[in-house]
């Protein structure tokens, strides 16, 4: 599987077009190198993002690099950004998990004529555009959904790594929404651990100590799966539990949603968060900066039992559960 | 007796020192005196508690009970540094060398030479003096800059001896300082000891299993047995023969004891 | 010296006691007594604070917190005692299930696949050992490099996402992790085995000798190279097996499981249990108890519902206080054994 | 024994050579020569593969990869040499900027605030040292507990998110991290200072003695407790200062910066540079070079465009191969010094 | 000469052994013979290379050049285990004890007793025998289950000596086995050595700096100087006096050399 997330070698065989010698009827372009700086490089959430990058790169004949920090350490990301710049990257997409830290580097990049986009997480600065979903906003929306589902009582909110910037804003948003609603909900934020086994242990152990809980929700992929598994195992719905849910489309999570164990999982089109930035950067380069990339909200989709069916019965690069390239037939 | 500041004329005097290590009674009731200017030989079986006594005098161990007088003053050394500040220098049986440090640093451990008032080491001077000391002791060694890990047994011991002997302390506690030394090197060190003694005002306690050496260089001999001093005579009144007999007698007794205990 | 000679058999059989006190006495005489007491104290504390703690369901959770760390800790104890350590154990943990997956997909029956996968894991240990011992690279560096190599390989093989084991319903999948309490049972059995190996076989003595005095051990004819390599292999095999159990238990082979965190917890468990980092001393049972201690803390605070930021503080303070207590208890114990 | 006595001054000044070869000779005679050569070789390799590597811009990036690790490594070398280690250094790194923030918000001028914050950091070291030395808890456990406590505290103080330093424009903020290359300059100065401390002062000798033979050191009157505590304080102070520099450099005080990862890299740097985990041996310059080595690898592979999954494999393989080379070179060097 | 399988009647014979440690020439050209049934005393200054020679014979070091014959067969021991399989037992000067292991395990290190055919240790038997050995040697020790870290110097050495001496090897290499032993314990061990010798077919090489002991128990004495054997005589033809003189002469020479070298 040489083409899964390599440095854009897919460009060699992805040359589909014929028009101007480049992709489609574009003129022949250099093999521009677009660097993605990420805050959790090994997180499965971003597997479809990387497929999106790969596909767009193959389509356009560009190269890419996936780098950054494994543990959302900002200095490591800044170093990766600076390295990309020093290494002559032609465009950079960065998940702006810090409000200030990237201002200097981004200014420097822009002044050198290197376009910079943000994806997945944003900060208000010079970057040309943002592709993704608002982390805090999505958390806030989840909080509102929690209030709707649960009404009142004790709710556990699980977070894998407290402080980690791709998830902490979500839990902050959810807590704020719950508080703002004025509902009589006792929301506890619980650290569940960086790995799936730990997350399962932590969720189960918390539930055992809090069987009066009316809701259990999580803000990261692993904890969401863990919540689903424990709700199922403990038959929590026969107890007091009225709501459960979380984020992202891990195989097991989707099954749990479709079985009705989880009420929802939030999808934010990670594939597009990779695909679109490549496209935007390419067009920007091609147009000499005339085709300014637009702000793009990749949406906030609450996947529920019905819509989960679709995801369950298909496996695709768009969800990240298959690397196979194929046309996905709609179920209905 | 020398004319010194000590009240009672003793460099060291202990009263009823006792020391246990968990179930092992190392010292039961040891009262011993080291007179000023004297070389005292301390002999006894393996495991008799000789080294333990030394380590109590240097503050490495604390006695369980008993009193210690140094230069007439009652004081229980708190730590080896404290003992040193009281004028006590020691050659430990285990040598107290740091394998990873070069010869000269080991020789000057805890009495490093500085560059004037700077807090920096005067390595050149230390090397030079280390070399001189080794030459004086007749010990051959290719470079004083080598780490001591791989030195021969005698070379290592020479470093430890030099560390203690070439100092201006007034009391020396030497725990088997010649055990690994060659015949020649031993002779030289015994001479050094005699020289030190001759200079006066220096007292020494020497542990050795070689009674020829003890009789040769000591003024008085004490035997440590059953955690107590059971024999104490000027060297003039004893001999290698007698000392050997003494210990052998103990063996015959002890052996019987063992045999019955089996 | 006046010898109060203690009969050498005193340890084995105090003559005039009933069984109950005798068991207590035997336990109390062991080095691991203090950490056992500390863990028990925590146990009692958490049970009293939250009645759900001492429920069967939570005992299962506790066992899940404990057994993977315990199993890796066993290997780390062996390695630490012989003066080595393995930073790659956590990554072997994540890697091995994917080796198993490969075999299963190739049609090998699960049981044989597990054996082969664990053998492959011990192959990683062999490599660690050879590079460390034969070439002379520091084990810290060898296994650090190996950890990175395994991390990358696992992520690539797994395509960066967890996979559901294909044979979840099978008897094997039950034995290898899914059946309740089967993980901790494996851990206990392996602890007993490794205990015998470390304390009652030549291999164990040589392991101590290799770590305590490598030069002296060589002089005495101990094959220190072979001992080190063998222990590297054992550690990797244990880690790989633990990873497999864990994968089946959570129905998910996760390329991000294990890793440095788990390795780190395992070494912590070993050290908490009384194993020195410098080599030459350590106990297997201590390693197991260390893992249990960590498990009780993590489980206990989570069940109490300590919120995420505070959890770290509770954990840290509890670790330090418990270990201070541990030191104090073992002094007390040694003092008491005198009388 | 037939002694070919080597004049003891030979090391310092070979008599009949021109300056150039003499410098080479002096470098070659040092223990750190091999890791220097390996790092240089990597440097040349990356420069030849990608011309951007040896650009000023990338040298700045390389310096950013290097200096925080290097500064923490200095402290870890001191600790490792005296037989201790500090797992909390990475968390002190994250914690200290928030202490500074507190002082700045209280109206203290930045320069004084930095001094106070670093003093507070060394207070953490003092606590580590006291618990370890006076109570007898293993340093691994003391500092593990401390790491958790600091992690929780930092997250709480920071409210779980990065904060922008309030005085970004000031001269102090330039000196303490923002000015190009100022971080590495601090690291170099501190390396020189610690080098003198470890090799040319009593403190240094005592540090070696404490780690090499604690019993013997005590017998010789070395105040081993004070040495250990002092080194804990130094390590924490260095880590805290490094964290402050890093916070200013990236214009962000990040509660998740540092942590176990950074601590781990720093200990790796120390070990790569030739410091033993078992105590008694180590070099400051080696620690710096180890950090540089890690920096070159991370920077080099990133600039080559290796994506993150593969990056792990490249890193792992490069570490192992380089260190095999390192062992081989140092054997060669010792052989050559004979003739 | 004994009537054994060896071709040339020598238990050990070396030809032109040389060994350097980096810049240090430890052995230059050593040819030495140990006859079957003989006790050979090996003496020499500190750092003369005696221990190095022993370590080469046990396979701990490899010689740079030269040949070794054991029981008449040319063989260079590859490792201490290999040497042991050739019937060689050794007391190393550094004792080769593992501080963290109890007395009895140290005594049986690398010759542990098993429970029948099981791969399990027979601890009870080992403890019991360890106790017996120590009693035989007259060494007092409270429990054979204690770790050896804190034992006295002589107690430690006794363990190392017992490890070697109570075995059925045919060649014993003893590197200063009495250095830390008390007068009584030394006497007992010397007796043990005589007993072993009397049983026949056992050859020994004994390094010692105490020439009285050497003359007492050895059949022949060799002096190692300048990395070569410079003196080789049956004990009957020499005396403590002569040996001491020999070494002292070397000193006067060596000292001059040093002085001029300064
Ligand atoms: N730190 C310690 N812990 C436990 N036991 C100890 C300790 N130090 C000494 N002992 C025991 O105390 C007794 C006395 O030991 P010590 O070293 O004083 O003997 P010694 O007279 O110096 O013997 P040797 O002539 O063999 O050196 C011995 O039985 C020894 O095992
Ligand atoms: N492993 C080693 N590395 C470097 N030098 C060594 C090593 N072993 C021994 N030497 C050196 O070789 C020389 C001979 O040492 P050896 O230990 O054989 O002396 P020895 O005759 O046993 O002396 P002693 O009577 O003091 O025990 C010494 O100068 C010693 O420093
Ligand atoms: Mg002694
Ligand atoms: Mg020797």
Interchain proximity E94–C209, CB inside 8 Å: no
* D140 close contact with C: CB closer than 8 A: yes
* C-beta of E147 in contact with ligand 1 (< 6 A): no
Q: CB C52 to CB A202 under 8 A?
A: no
Q: Which residues of chain D fall below pLDDT 50?
A: 1-15
Q: Mean of the pLDDT values across residues B173-199?
A: 92
How many whole angstroms from B232 Cα to the centroid of ligand 1?
A: 21
The predicted model gives A262-268 an average pLDDT of: 92
Closest atom, ligand 2, to C-alpha of B156 = 26
pLDDT at B256: 41
The predicted model gives A7-22 an average pLDDT of: 45
The pLDDT confidence band at residue E133, using thresholds 50, 70 and 90, is very high
- pLDDT digit string, tens, across residues A118-175: 999 888 889 999 998 888 889 999 999 999 999 999 999 999 888 887 788 899 999 9
Taking the C-alpha atoms of residue A87 and residue D57, their distance in angstroms, rounded to an integer, is: 9
For residues A196 and C250, the answer to whether their CB atoms sit within 8 Å is yes
Give chains near E: 3+ CB pairs under 8 A.
B, C, D
Cβ within 8 Å, pair D334-E28? no
Give residue-wise pLDDT tens across range C105-115.
999 999 999 99
Closest chain C residue by Cα to residue E120: C201
Question: Ligand 2: which residue has its CA nearest to atom 30?
Answer: B151
pLDDT score of A124: 82
User: What DSSP string describes D27-76?
Assistant: HHHSTTHHHHHHHHHHHHHHHHH-TTTTSHHHHHHHHHHHHHHHHHHHHH
pLDDT above 90 (res C175):
yes
* Residue D178 to chain C, least CA–CA distance (Å): 30
Q: Is residue B225 in contact with ligand 1, taking CB distance under 6 Å?
A: no
**From the alpha carbon of E209, which atom of ligand 2 is closest?**
25
pLDDT score, position C4: 47
Confidence of residue B251 (pLDDT cuts 50, 70, 90): low
Mean pLDDT of chain B: 90
The confidence score (pLDDT) of residue A330 equals: 61
Q: Which of E79, E84, E98 sits opposite C208 (nearest CB)?
A: E98
Contact list, E244 vs chain B (CB under 8 Å): 183
Burial class (CB in 10 A: 0-12, 13-18, 19+), C81: buried
Q: Would you say B133 and E262 are in contact if contact means Cβ atoms under 8 Å apart? A: no
Residue D112: other Cβ atoms inside 10 A: 12
Residues 6+ away with beta carbon under 8 Å from D326:
C137, D34, D35, D38, D272
Residue of the CA atom closest to atom 1 of ligand 2: B150
Q: Which B residues in the span 121-140 are in contact with D, Cβ-Cβ below 8 Å? A: 121, 123-124, 127-128, 131, 140
Query: B55 CB under 6 A from ligand 1?
Result: no
DSSP secondary structure, C208-264, as one string: HHHHH-HHHHHHTT--HHHHHHHHHHHHHHHHHHHHHHHHHHTT-B-TTSSHHHHHH
CB A23 within 8 A of CB A15: yes
Q: Which ligand is nearest to the CA of E175?
A: 4
**What are the DSSP E strand ranges found in chain A?**
33-38, 63-68, 91-94, 116-119, 130-132, 153-159, 185-191, 213-218, 243-247, 264-267, 296-297, 301-303
In angstroms, what is the span from residue B172 Cα to ligand 1's centroid? 20
Helix, strand and coil in chain C, % to nearest 5: 75, 0, 25
Strands E220-225 and E228-234: antiparallel
Q: Is the ipTM of this complex over 0.85?
A: yes
pLDDT confidence bin for C10, thresholds 50/70/90: very low
Burial letters A300-332, b for 16+ CB under 10 A, else e:
bebbbeebbbbbbebbbbbbbbebeeeeeeeee
CA B10, CA B231: separation in Å to the nearest integer?
19
pLDDT at residue C304, as a whole number: 87
pLDDT of residue A226: 94
Centre of ligand 3 from the C-alpha of residue E88, in Å:
30
Q: Verify whether the Cβ–Cβ distance C131 to D324 is below 8 Å.
A: yes
Q: Do E22 and D2 touch (CB under 8 A)?
A: no
CA distance B105 to B121: 10
Q: Is the dihedral of CA D51, D54, D60, D61 positive or negative?
A: positive
Residue A16 has pLDDT above 60, yes or no: no
- Is the CB of B48 inside 8 Å of chain C's CB atoms? yes
Distance CA D63, CA C309 (A): 33
Ranges A214-228, A296-310, B103-117, D214-228: which has the least confidence: A296-310
What's the CA gap between D43 and D184, in Å, rounded?
A: 17
Which is more confident, E181 or C7? E181
Overall average pLDDT of the E36-52 stretch: 95
Q: Does E252 touch chain B (CB under 8 A)?
A: no
Q: What pLDDT is stored for residue C161 in this prediction?
A: 84
**A contact chains, 3+ CB pairs < 8 A:** C, D
What pLDDT score was predicted for residue D28?
72
Q: Which residues of D touch B81 (CB under 8 A)?
A: 221, 223
Q: Provide the total of helices (H) and of strands (E) in chain C, helices listed first.
A: 14, 0
Q: Which of B97, B178, B183, B186 to mutate to test the interface with E (most CBs of E within 10 A)?
A: B183
Q: Indicate the pairing of strand B220-225 with strand B10-21.
A: unpaired
The overall pTM is greater than 0.90 = yes
pLDDT in tens, E63-118: 999 999 999 999 999 999 999 999 999 999 999 999 999 999 999 999 999 998 88
What are the CA-CA distances from residue C221 to residues C212, E87, E172 (Å)? 14, 13, 15
The predicted structure's pLDDT at residue B262: 31
Sequence-distant (6+) residues with CB within 8 A of E254 are B138, B140, E45
| CB of E52 closer than 6 angstroms to any ligand 2 atom | yes
Query: Are E219 and E28 in contact, with CB atoms under 8 Å apart?
Result: no
CB contact under 8 A, E226 and D2: yes
B near A: at least 3 beta-carbon pairs less than 8 Å apart: no
Query: pLDDT by residue (tens digit) across A241-258?
Result: 999 999 988 888 989 999
Interface partners of chain B (CB pairs < 8 Å, 3 or more) are: C, D, E
| Alpha-carbon gap, residue E133 to E127, rounded angstroms | 10
Nearest CA to ligand 1 atom 16: B49
Question: Three-state DSSP class for C63?
Answer: helix
For residue A109, the Cα-to-chain-centroid distance in whole angstroms is: 25
> Which member of D68, D257, D307 has the closest CB to residue A67?
D307
Phi, psi of A128 (to 5 degrees): -70, -40
Residues forming beta bridges with residue A246, ordered by sequence position: A265
> Each residue of C192-241: pLDDT tens digit?
999 999 999 999 999 999 999 999 999 999 999 999 999 999 999 999 99
Q: Is the pLDDT of residue A56 over 80?
A: yes
Q: How confident is the model at residue B250 (pLDDT cuts 50, 70, 90)?
A: low
């Amino acid at each position: 599987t040489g083409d899964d997330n390599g440095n854009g070698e897919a460009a060699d065989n992805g040359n589909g077009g014929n028009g101007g010698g480049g992709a489609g009827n574009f003129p022949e372009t250099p093999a521009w190198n677009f660097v993605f700086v990420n805050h959790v490089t090994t997180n499965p959430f971003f597997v479809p993002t990387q497929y999106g990058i790969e596909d767009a790169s193959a389509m356009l004949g560009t190269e890419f690099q996936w780098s950054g920090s494994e543990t959302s350490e900002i200095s490591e990301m800044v170093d990766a950004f600076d390295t990309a710049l020093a290494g002559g990257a032609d465009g950079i997409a960065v998940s702006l998990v810090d409000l200030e830290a990237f201002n200097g580097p981004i200014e420097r990049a822009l002044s050198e004529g290197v376009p910079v986009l943000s994806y997945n997480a944003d900060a208000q600065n010079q970057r040309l555009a943002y592709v993704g979903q608002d982390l805090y906003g999505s958390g806030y929306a989840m909080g509102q959904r929690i209030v709707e589902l649960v009404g009142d009582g004790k709710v556990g909110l699980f977070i894998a790594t407290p402080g980690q910037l791709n998830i902490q804003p979500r839990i902050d948003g959810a807590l704020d929404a719950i508080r703002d609603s004025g509902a009589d909900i006792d929301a506890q934020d619980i650290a569940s651990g960086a790995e799936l086994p730990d997350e399962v242990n932590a969720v189960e152990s918390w539930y055992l100590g809090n069987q009066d809980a009316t809701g259990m929700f999580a803000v990261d992929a692993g904890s969401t799966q863990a919540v689903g598994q424990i709700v199922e195992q403990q038959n929590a719905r026969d107890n007091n539990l009225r709501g459960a849910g979380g984020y992202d489309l891990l195989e097991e999570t989707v099954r749990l949603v479709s079985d009705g164990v989880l009420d929802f999982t939030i999808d934010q089109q990670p594939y597009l968060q990779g695909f679109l930035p490549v496209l935007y950067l390419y067009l920007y380069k091609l147009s000499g900066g005339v085709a300014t990339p637009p702000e793009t909200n990749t949406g906030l989709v609450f996947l529920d039992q019905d819509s989960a069916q679709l995801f369950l019965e298909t496996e695709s690069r768009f969800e990240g559960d298959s690397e196979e390239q194929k046309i996905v037939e709609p179920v209905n | 007796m020398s004319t010194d500041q000590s009240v009672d004329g003793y460099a060291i005097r202990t009263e009823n020192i006792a020391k246990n290590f968990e179930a092992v009674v190392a010292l039961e009731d040891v009262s011993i005196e080291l007179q000023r200017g004297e070389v005292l030989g301390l002999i006894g079986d393996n495991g008799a508690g000789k080294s333990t006594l030394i380590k109590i005098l240097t503050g490495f161990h604390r006695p369980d009970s008993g009193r210690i007088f140094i230069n007439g003053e009652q004081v229980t050394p708190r730590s080896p540094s404290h003992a040193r500040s009281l004028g006590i220098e020691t050659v430990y049986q285990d040598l107290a060398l740091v394998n990873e440090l070069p010869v000269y640093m080991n020789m000057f451990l805890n009495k490093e030479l500085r560059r004037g008032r700077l807090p920096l080491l005067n390595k050149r001077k230390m090397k030079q003096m280390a070399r001189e000391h080794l030459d004086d002791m007749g010990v051959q060694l290719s470079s004083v800059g080598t780490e001591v890990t791989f030195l021969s047994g005698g070379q290592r011991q020479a470093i430890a001896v030099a560390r203690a002997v070439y100092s201006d302390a007034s009391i020396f506690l030497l725990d088997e300082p010649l055990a690994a030394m060659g015949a020649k090197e031993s002779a030289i060190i015994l001479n050094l000891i005699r020289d030190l003694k001759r200079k006066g005002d220096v007292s020494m306690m020497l542990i050795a299993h070689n009674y020829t050496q003890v009789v040769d260089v000591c003024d008085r001999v004490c035997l440590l047995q059953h955690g107590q001093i059971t024999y104490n005579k000027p060297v003039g009144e004893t001999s290698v023969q007698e000392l050997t007999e003494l210990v052998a007698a103990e063996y015959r007794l002890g052996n019987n004891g063992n045999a019955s205990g089996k | 010296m006046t010898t109060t000679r203690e009969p050498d058999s005193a340890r084995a059989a105090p003559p005039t006691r009933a069984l109950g006190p005798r068991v207590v006495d035997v336990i109390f005489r062991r080095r691991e007594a203090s950490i056992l007491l500390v863990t028990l104290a925590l146990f009692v504390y958490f049970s009293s604070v939250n009645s759900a703690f001492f429920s069967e369901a939570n005992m299962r959770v506790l066992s899940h917190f404990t057994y993977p760390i315990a199993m890796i800790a066993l290997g780390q104890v062996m390695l630490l005692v012989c003066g080595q350590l393995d930073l790659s154990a956590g990554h072997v943990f994540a890697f091995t299930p994917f080796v198993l997956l490969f075999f299963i997909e190739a049609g090998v029956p699960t049981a044989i696949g597990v054996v082969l996968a664990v053998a492959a894991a011990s192959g990683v240990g062999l490599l660690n050992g050879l590079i460390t011992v034969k070439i002379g690279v520091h084990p810290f560096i060898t296994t650090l490099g190996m950890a990175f190599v395994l991390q990358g390989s696992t992520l690539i093989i797994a395509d960066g996402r967890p996979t559901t084991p294909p044979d979840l319903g099978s008897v094997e999948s039950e034995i290898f992790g899914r059946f309740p309490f089967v993980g901790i049972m494996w851990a206990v059995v392996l602890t007993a085995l490794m205990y015998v190996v470390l304390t009652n076989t030549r291999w164990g003595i040589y392991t101590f000798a290799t770590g305590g005095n490598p030069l002296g051990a060589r002089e005495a004819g101990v094959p220190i190279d072979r001992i080190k390599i063998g222990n590297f292999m054992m550690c990797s095999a244990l880690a790989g097996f633990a990873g497999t159990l864990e994968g089946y238990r959570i129905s998910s082979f996760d390329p991000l499981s294990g890793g440095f965190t788990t390795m780190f917890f395992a070494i912590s468990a070993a050290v908490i249990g009384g194993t020195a980092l410098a080599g030459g001393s350590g106990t297997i049972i201590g390693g197991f108890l260390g893992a249990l201690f960590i498990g009780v803390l993590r489980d206990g605070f989570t069940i109490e519902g300590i919120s995420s930021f505070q959890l770290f503080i509770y954990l840290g303070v509890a670790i330090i206080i418990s270990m201070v207590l541990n030191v104090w208890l073992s002094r007390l114990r040694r003092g008491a054994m005198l009388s």
